[in-house]
Amino acid sequence: MARTRFVQGLDELRARLLRMGGLAEQAVDRACQAYLDRDLSRCQMVLEGEAQINLAEREIDELAFDLLAMQQPMAVDLRFILAVTKINSDLERVGDQAVNIAERVMDMVELPAVPLPVDIARMSAAVSAMVRRALESFIEGKAELAQAVLEMDNVVDRMRDEAFITLVKTMNERPDVTRQALDSLLVARNLERVADHATNIAEDVIFWVRGADVRHNVQPETPAQQEVTEGH
Amino acid sequence: MARTRFVQGLDELRARLLRMGGLAEQAVDRACQAYLDRDLSRCQMVLEGEAQINLAEREIDELAFDLLAMQQPMAVDLRFILAVTKINSDLERVGDQAVNIAERVMDMVELPAVPLPVDIARMSAAVSAMVRRALESFIEGKAELAQAVLEMDNVVDRMRDEAFITLVKTMNERPDVTRQALDSLLVARNLERVADHATNIAEDVIFWVRGADVRHNVQPETPAQQEVTEGH
């Protein structure tokens, strides 16, 4: 009986985390669309959505807390719950990045529109795909999918580096558009941070699925982990 | 007997988190000193220190996991352990910011030194104080100290905004030093992020302390906690 309630709680936790992921992804997409269309109303939606994301984060943490307090979880459930609390923090910070992007767009919209040598649309698509796949790997409990996300991170880093170089060049050649170029550069940097959060999420999924910590290139199954596994 | 081992484990967890906090704070201080002295050897120390911080993070997470798996923790211990895992992530990211700063310094050192209108020393001192006080509030379990950290965050945000405005002006007026100004601006932004992590830590301390107070007053906030309290 207690176990049934516990398992229902785990399902609820998973469902809420997915909703939270949907909100965070939507916020990033909206912020990037606002950048492309110079659309202040979308910026406003992103700013207003932040409170909702923050509330969702708190509720997930509380549910995780309640589940841990409810009964002694098995090692596999414990790993799952801890992974959820970590993924939860990352999703909330994805939401923060969306807000940062929206703020930069609000700055840009006040300045003359100029073409800039940076493909935010492409970068945004790559980053969104990373967040989505990281969440898919979580739903399906598939470490291979999570692994693919880790590899995509390098691509986004490269895009950011390229954006950095070309935009600094623009600033040098056209001081009159420095501020627009800087805003774009910071948007690219915010997107790179979203990619970093997707990477963290993928690592947490691998930790949960494999029971191994891949975060810092560590070999799986350390003595401490073995102990726990044997304990159950 | 099991309880004694568990309590020892909690002490160990606290001690390790403090050491981790010391490493993260040192990394930021070194990176900022490297900025001020254009000192590549300190940059190198920061880059090399990252592995140590990453290892410390993993060990803390594993210990937290083992403690949760060892016995059914009481609500107050559970809140403590969850707060530790969250603070742990933030400290690791403080270390990442130190690496980012060191990388910008390495870029700057290759360029001619120019005076820039940004007081990184002052910003660095403010940010270090935030990290230190956030950790103190954790050691002493004092929500008031944590509250003070939250207020300091606004001061750092203001410093960052000022840096942003004056450095963009510099870029406009002196295109020949755009890259140095941009590096400085990004260092200021990294420091602001460290302040954000200190803020997160302070919020986790408040979650832990206030949640504990609620429990001491025997005013359980959720049905699940009530169950736990009755269980012990």
Residue type, A88: N
Q: Which residues of A touch B63 (CB under 8 A)?
A: 224
pLDDT at B157 over 70: yes
Q: Which chain A residue has the Cα nearest residue B166?
A: A179
Instruction: Tell me the three-class secondary structure of B45-62, residue by residue.
Output: HHHHHHHHHHHHHHHHHH
Q: Give the confidence band of B213 by pLDDT, cuts at 50, 70, 90.
A: low
Cβ–Cβ < 8 Å for B69, A79 = no
ipTM of the complex model? 0.80
B116 SS3 class: coil
Work out the mean pLDDT of chain B and round it to a whole number. Answer: 89
pLDDT at A8 over 90: yes
User: DSSP class of residue A176?
Assistant: G
The answer to whether residue B224 scores a pLDDT higher than 60 is no
Q: For residue A154, give every residue at least 6 positions away whose Cβ sits within 8 Å of its Cβ, in sequence order, or none.
A: none
Tell me what pLDDT residue B230 has: 36
CB nearest to B54's CB, from A78, A216, A222: A216
CB contact under 8 A, A62 and B225: no
pLDDT at B223: 39
The pLDDT tens digits of the residues spanning A57-83 come to 999 999 999 999 887 788 889 989 999
pLDDT in tens, B116-133: 999 999 999 999 999 999
Q: Say if residue B216's pLDDT is above 50.
A: no
* A82 and chain B in contact, CB less than 8 A: yes
Contacts of A176 in chain B (CB under 8 A): 172
pLDDT at residue B80 in the model: 92
All domains of chain A in start order, with CATH: 2-231 (1.20.58.220)
Q: How far is A232 from chain B (nearest CA, A)?
A: 9
Q: What percent of chain B has pLDDT over 90?
A: 78
Q: Does A86 touch chain B (CB under 8 A)?
A: yes
Please state the rounded mean pLDDT for residues A176-190: 94
- CB < 8 Å & 24+ apart, contacts of B126-130: B126/B152, B126/B155, B126/B156, B126/B159, B126/B195, B127/B28, B127/B156, B127/B191, B127/B192, B127/B194, B127/B195, B127/B198, B128/B25, B128/B28, B128/B29, B130/B156, B130/B194, B130/B195, B130/B198, B130/B199
* pTM of this structure: 0.85
Task: Report d(CA B187, CA B169) in Å as an integer.
Answer: 17
Q: Give chain B's largest Cα–Cα span.
A: 70
Q: Is the pLDDT of residue B181 over 50?
A: yes
First-to-last C-alpha distance (Å) of chain B: 16
A232 touches chain B (CB under 8 A): yes
The predicted structure's pLDDT at residue A88 = 95
Inter-residue contact A225 to A207 (CB < 8 Å): no
**A175 to B179: CB separation less than 8 angstroms, yes or no:** no
- Give the nearest chain A residue to B190 (CA atoms): A189
Q: State the Cα torsion A67-B82-A205-A137 to the nearest 10°.
A: 50
CA distance readout (Å), B52 to B24, B45, B92, B127, B135 = 10, 11, 10, 22, 19
Mean pLDDT for A46-65 is 94
Q: What is the pLDDT of residue B220?
A: 39
**Residue B190: what are its φ and ψ, rounded to 5°?**
-65, -40
pLDDT of B210 reads 81
Banded pLDDT at A215 (limits 50, 70, 90): low
User: Which residue does chain B place closest to A62, by CA atoms?
Assistant: B222
Cα–Cα dist A22/A56, whole Å: 11
pLDDT for the residue numbered A208: 84
Residue A215 touches partner B, C-beta closer than 8 Å: yes
pLDDT confidence tier of residue B70, bands split at 50, 70 and 90: confident
Q: How confident is the model at residue B1 (pLDDT cuts 50, 70, 90)?
A: low
Res A232 pLDDT > 70: no
Considering only CB atoms, which chain A residues are within 8 Å of B227?
69-70
For chain A, state the CA radius of gyration.
20
Q: pLDDT, tens digit, for every residue of B12-58?
A: 999 999 999 999 999 999 999 999 999 999 999 999 999 999 999 99
Instruction: Return the number of CB contacts < 8 Å for A and B.
Output: 100
Q: Best-predicted range by mean pLDDT among B64-73, B142-151, B219-228? A: B142-151
- The answer to whether residue A28 scores a pLDDT higher than 90 is yes
Q: Which of A89, A171, A215 sits opposite B58 (nearest CB)?
A: A215
pLDDT of residue A216: 53
Mean residue pLDDT of chain A comes to: 89
Identify the pLDDT of residue B76.
86
Average pLDDT value for residue range B145-173: 92
Distances (CA, A) of B150 to A22, B130, B201, B202: 29, 9, 10, 7
Residue A114 has pLDDT above 50, yes or no: yes
Name the residue with tokens 């003359």. Answer: A112
